[in-house]
Amino acid sequence: MIILSCEGISMSFGAVNVLKDISFSLNAGEKAGIVGVNGAGKSTLMNILTGRLAPDSGSVNIAAGTPGNMYGVLEQDGGLDPSRGVY
């Protein structure tokens, strides 16, 4: 059963195409990772998948009844206070 389907996702910032016609799907039980060089659009894609950004074109479909804990994002900026140490 497909739990996530993306069809024709495209996103531009000004004249720069970050994502162009991205399509994929994930079935129940599958896991996926997104890797690529800086500026490849990894964070943009994750923001689209989580609904933080709307794509310029295309669609994201998450199967009805899919619990929110089935997917997650590890933020690049963890919100650490630079004036405090790790400990």
- Using alpha carbons, select from 3, 85, 73 the residue that is nearest to residue 44: 73
State the pLDDT at residue 68. 66
Q: What is the CATH number of the domain that holds 13?
A: 3.40.50.300
Q: Residue 84 falls within a domain, yes or no?
A: no
Q: What does the alpha-carbon distance between residue 55 and residue 32 come to, in Å, rounded to a whole number?
A: 20
Q: What does the alpha-carbon distance between residue 71 and residue 44 come to, in Å, rounded to a whole number?
A: 16
Q: Residue 58 falls within a domain, yes or no?
A: yes
Q: Residue 68 falls within a domain, yes or no?
A: no
pTM of structure: 0.78
Q: Which residue segment(s) compose the domain that 43 sits in?
A: 2-63
Residue with tokens 């009805």: 64
Q: What is the pLDDT along the chain (87 residues), one digit of tens a residue?
A: 899 999 999 999 999 999 999 999 999 889 888 899 988 999 899 999 988 999 999 999 988 887 766 666 777 777 777 788 767
Counted domains in the chain: 1
- Using alpha carbons, select from 9, 3, 23 the residue that is nearest to residue 70: 3
